[in-house]
Amino acid sequence: MAGQATLDARIVARFASIDTYVFDLDNTLYPQGSDLWPQIDQRITVYLMNYLGVDGLTAFALQKYWYERDGTSLRGLMRQYAIDVRDYLEFVHDIDRSSLARNQRLADAIAALPGRRLVLTNGSKTHAERTIAQLGLDGLFERIFDIEAMDLVPKPNSAAYEKFFADCAIDPSRAVLFEDLAQNLIAPQKVGMVGVLVSPPGTSHGAHAQGADFVTNDLAGFVARIVRLTTNT
């Protein structure tokens, strides 16, 4: 009980002045054990095989190298090739989302948040829209700020967040970011943004990661807790 009381006190202290709630998309708004990201990962490999004329192992190795170096495979590919970005994004996000169940619990929690709600994703806007609709979260977000809105400079690059803050008129000291990747929380935390790491189910709430002010394995429950502790409803 003492641990829960301490967490509640920290939430009250950190979220009292928050007026903007920002959510990553992939592996954050939907469960990390779903098959969506593995599908996208496979589509990227196939795209590289077709575009570069290489075998699957080579394509996969390049994909992971570029992801680690540049934040996305797309940015690594763009460094060396004049690709059609729209064609790439459409191809890699042409996936089956039918395995995703509507998440009414999360929808209700997000709808009750006392402030602006946005999505910040390294994916495409179309992918975000389709995925959000499949989850039953459509209509809840003011804006989807996608990789094209970032001028193709992805998280965790500081420039991606700077453009997001400027274009959406966000004061980072009054905003929170929910993310599944700890490295994507480091740059925004440096400018005052609260970071919530969304970890896989079954992991410890006490896990520590650089950039994360809070860690949760239950996004809907954590958001509902914020609402309960920071509003008069």
- If you search the block for the tokens 């966000």, which residue do you land on? 170
Residue 197: phi and psi, rounded to 5, are -85, 120
Rounded to 5°, the CA angle 133-99-220 comes to 60
Per-residue pLDDT tens digits for 34-80:
999 999 999 999 999 999 999 999 999 999 999 888 888 999 999 88
- Half-sphere exposure of residue 98, counting CA atoms within 13 Å on the CB side? 1
Q: Are the beta carbons of 25 and 128 closer than 8 angstroms?
A: yes
Comparing C-alpha atoms, which of 137, 94, 130 is closest to residue 223? 137
**Global model pTM greater than 0.95:** no
Question: Whole-angstrom Cα distance, residue 111 to residue 128?
Answer: 18
> Domain boundaries in the chain?
2-34+100-230, 36-92
Buried b (16+ CB within 10 A) or exposed e, 32-54: bebebbebbeebbbebbbebeee
Residue 204 is predicted with a pLDDT of: 52
Consecutive 10-residue runs of the chain (233 residues): their mean pLDDT?
Answer: 77 94 97 93 96 95 91 90 93 96 97 97 97 98 97 95 98 98 95 94 58 93 95 65
According to DSSP, residue 101 is labeled P
User: So what's the architecture of 36-92 in CATH?
Assistant: Orthogonal Bundle (1.10)
User: So what's the architecture of 2-34+100-230 in CATH?
Assistant: 3-Layer(aba) Sandwich (3.40)
